[in-house]
Amino acid sequence: MNPKKTGIALIFLLWMCCSKGIAQQLPLFTQYSEYGGLINASHLPFQIYHSKKKSLYGAAYRDQWTNLPDRPRTMAVRIESATTYKKGVNLIYGGYLLNDRIGVFQTTEVKARLGGFFRTTNSKYKTGGIAIGINFGAGQYRVDLANLAYTDIDPILFQDNTAVIYPDVGIGISYVGQFENDDYLQVGLSIPQMFGLDHTYTNDRKEFDVKRVAHYYLTSSYYKILSEDTYIELSGWAKRVKNLDMNYDFLFRYKFSEHMWLGIGANSSAIVHTEIGAIMKYGSNGEFRLGYSYNPTLYSHSVIFGNIHEVALSFSIK
């Protein structure tokens, strides 16, 4: 069998599982703390809350299962801003562009983000409060049916590019606290899509359904501040999808100098995280960050599927 057709067939079978709600359907990120606002609309980035940055701009690209010709590939762009210094209500806002492609299946979403951080002060904590947020926008789900290269294996007999537009809303709530020693804690719960896609592709001979089911996320991060330029980050991400076991992800980052950090972690699906990052200052208040992660899997199918690479770029200003 042609290797390309074999790869596309595998991707299609995985996607069909997703359409029935028995697999992860939303894009994944290894460097998820960089894209917390997509995972949880109430997320306050560490650079904004602790480092007093005014705005963050970033882009990420993830290439998954690199041995497959039509593998999952994800691109995301973000703009985030917040005020966090006032006691009482502070505004959180931003926007995202997301493109997720698996062979002939492609999702593009545009989202705005709006939230509030309700900041309090008491004798136990230096600062703290509750953040709530909402992501809202629209997405396009496209299936390039004319280019299904494996129709001789199992013909579906569709001939068009079929696109569906759908609304999408995500909600989240987080506790954010900064302690007397400047250590920082954030714990959040979210449902990143309240209204998903539910569509049937059909013609006079066959049909198949595409349905996105709700995902439930629990995220946490703790920053142990060592000095003005160094810290240890411990973060976790738990994901719950209908008909699947809970999935867990853990990451340890060590920013050991003003200009570099290292990270290592693991996922309950036997995927290992390794990460390296560089930071460059510009101007009096700006900061440029570049992170690269490599994710080998401990399963034997990694020989067939390949591994995972992810690059994240961001810059921030005060």
The CATH number assigned to the domain holding 145 equals 2.40.160.40
If you average pLDDT over residues 197-223, what whole number do you get?
Answer: 70
Distance, C-alpha 192 to centroid of its chain: 10
| Number of domains making up the chain | 1
> How far is the CA of 224 from the CAs of 181, 230, 238, in angstroms?
9, 9, 21
Q: Does the structure show a pLDDT above 80 at 9?
A: no
* 102-116, 240-254, 259-273, 300-314, range with the lowest pLDDT: 300-314
Report whether pLDDT(101) > 90: no
> Whole-angstrom Cα distance, residue 122 to residue 64?
46
Give the residue with greater pLDDT, 162 vs 62. 62
* Beta strand extents in the chain (DSSP E only): 55-64, 72-82, 88-102, 105-120, 127-144, 161-178, 184-191, 198-202, 207-211, 215-225, 231-241, 247-255, 260-267, 271-282, 286-295, 308-317
Q: Which residue has the higher pLDDT, 71 or 108?
A: 108
Residue type (1 letter), 66: T
- What local confidence, expressed as pLDDT, does residue 16 receive? 41
Question: Above 90 in pLDDT, residue 174?
Answer: yes
Q: Give mean pLDDT, residues 175-196.
A: 86
User: Across the chain, what does the average pLDDT equal?
Assistant: 79
pLDDT, tens digit (0-9, with 9 covering 90-100), for 219-272: 999 999 999 889 999 999 898 887 778 889 999 999 999 999 999 999 888 888
Whether 190 shows a pLDDT value over 80: the answer reads yes
| pLDDT for res 26 | 66
Provide the 10 A C-beta neighbour count for residue 270.
Answer: 11
Amino acid letter at 58? G
Q: Which residues form the domain of 17?
A: 3-317
Contacts of 187 (CB under 8 A, 6+ apart): 174, 175, 218, 219, 220
Q: What is the pLDDT of residue 21?
A: 35
Structure tokens at 258: 């003003």
Judge whether residue 2 has pLDDT over 50: no
Reported residue count of the chain is 318
Share of the chain above pLDDT 70, in %: 76
Higher-pLDDT residue of 200 and 115 is 115
pLDDT for the residue 13? 43
Token digits of residue 171: 């909600």
Looking at residue 6, its pLDDT comes to 43
48-65 pLDDT tens trace:
877 777 888 999 998 887
